[in-house]
């Protein structure tokens, strides 16, 4: 049972334009969400997070939006840069009880110069 | 601060052999995780430690996988005997607190190939 889904395995965007990566989840108990970026031969690197009490969190060029009613979150990168080319994973967790992070399958972003 | 250290980076073994991976978390991080990432999939949690106690090992195939975190610092994950489907990247991660609002810090992983 895939509780966190990233339905787009890949995405190509022109440099300077907006990249939008999407993630859906099924478990309504999740209340903390994260995005990770992964370069080849490296471990995932934490990018940005959002708690369910918010619907938006921004950090520089990266903004995460959360739509709890739709159980959907998205990561916006503006403007996109060639160095943003990587695999992006979303992850979800709940802050009560025994928690663990559930990861999606990832979206490979390619930013074209 | 130094990141999460893992070794070896790569390992190739034959099926039915045994293998061990080592992880040293970021200093002071109480929580340590082992994840398995199969090609094309997201990381899947195998085991989570809080200091030297196991918090969650529900997805660890206990007939062949074992892990320990002696003294609540570094950790070892072992597979014995290995199967072809164990080919994956094994990622170690740590976080500073027990709270879920605490991002994981990952090491670079060990890529295991079972032939």
The percentage of residues in chain A with a pLDDT greater than 90, rounded to a whole number, is 88
Q: Which of B86, B108, B112 is nearest to B11 (CA)?
A: B112
3-state secondary structure of B41: coil
List chain A residues with CB under 8 Å of B44.
103
Query: From CA A82, how far away is CA B46, in angstroms rounded?
Result: 34
**Is the pLDDT confidence value at A18 over 70?**
yes
**Is the pLDDT confidence value at B98 over 70?**
no
Residue A106: which of B33, B42, B103 has the nearest Cβ?
B42
pLDDT of residue A95: 77
pLDDT, tens digit, for every residue of B38-73?
998 999 999 999 888 998 899 999 999 999 998 889
pLDDT tier at B22 (50, 70, 90 boundaries)?
very high
Considering only the C-alpha atoms of chain B, give the largest distance between any 2 of them, rounded to a whole number of Å: 40
**Full 3-state SS string of B42-100:** CCEEEEEEECCEEEECCCCCCCCEEEECHHHCCEEEEECCCCHHHCEEEEEEEECCCCC
The CA distance from B16 to the nearest CA of chain A, in Å, is 26
List chain A residues with CB under 8 Å of B42.
4, 6, 89, 91, 103-106
Any A CB within 8 A of B13 CB: no
- Is B43 within 8 Å of B34 (Cβ atoms)? no
The CA distance from B31 to the nearest CA of chain A, in Å, is 11
pLDDT tier at B103 (50, 70, 90 boundaries)?
confident
pLDDT tier at A32 (50, 70, 90 boundaries)?
very high
Q: What does the mean pLDDT of chain B come to?
A: 93
Give the number of C-alpha atoms closer than 13 A to the C-alpha of residue B38, restricted to the C-beta side.
9
The percentage of residues in chain A with a pLDDT greater than 70, rounded to a whole number, is 96
pLDDT of residue A112: 96
């Amino acid at each position: 049972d895939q509780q966190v889904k990233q339905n787009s395995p890949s995405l190509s965007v022109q440099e300077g334009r907006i990249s939008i990566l999407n993630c859906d989840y099924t478990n309504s108990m999740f209340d903390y969400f994260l995005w990770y970026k992964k370069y080849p031969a490296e471990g995932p690197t934490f990018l940005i997070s959002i708690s369910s009490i918010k619907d938006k969190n921004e950090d520089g060029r990266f903004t995460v939006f959360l739509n709890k009613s739709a159980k959907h979150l998205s990561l916006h990168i503006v403007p996109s840069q060639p160095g943003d080319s990587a695999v992006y994973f979303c992850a979800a967790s709940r802050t009560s009880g025994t928690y663990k992070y559930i990861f999606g399958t990832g979206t490979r972003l390619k930013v074209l110069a | 601060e130094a990141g999460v250290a893992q070794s070896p980076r790569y390992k190739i073994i034959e099926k039915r052999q045994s293998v061990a991976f080592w992880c040293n978390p970021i200093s002071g991080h109480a929580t340590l995780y082992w994840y398995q990432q199969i090609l094309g999939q997201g990381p899947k949690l195998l085991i989570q430690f809080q200091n030297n106690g196991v918090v969650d090992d529900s997805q660890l195939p206990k007939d062949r996988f074992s892990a320990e975190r002696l003294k609540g610092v570094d950790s070892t994950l072992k597979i014995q005997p290995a199967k072809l489907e164990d080919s994956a990247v094994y990622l170690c991660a740590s976080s500073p607190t027990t709270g879920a609002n605490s991002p994981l810090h990952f090491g670079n992983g060990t890529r295991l190939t079972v032939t």
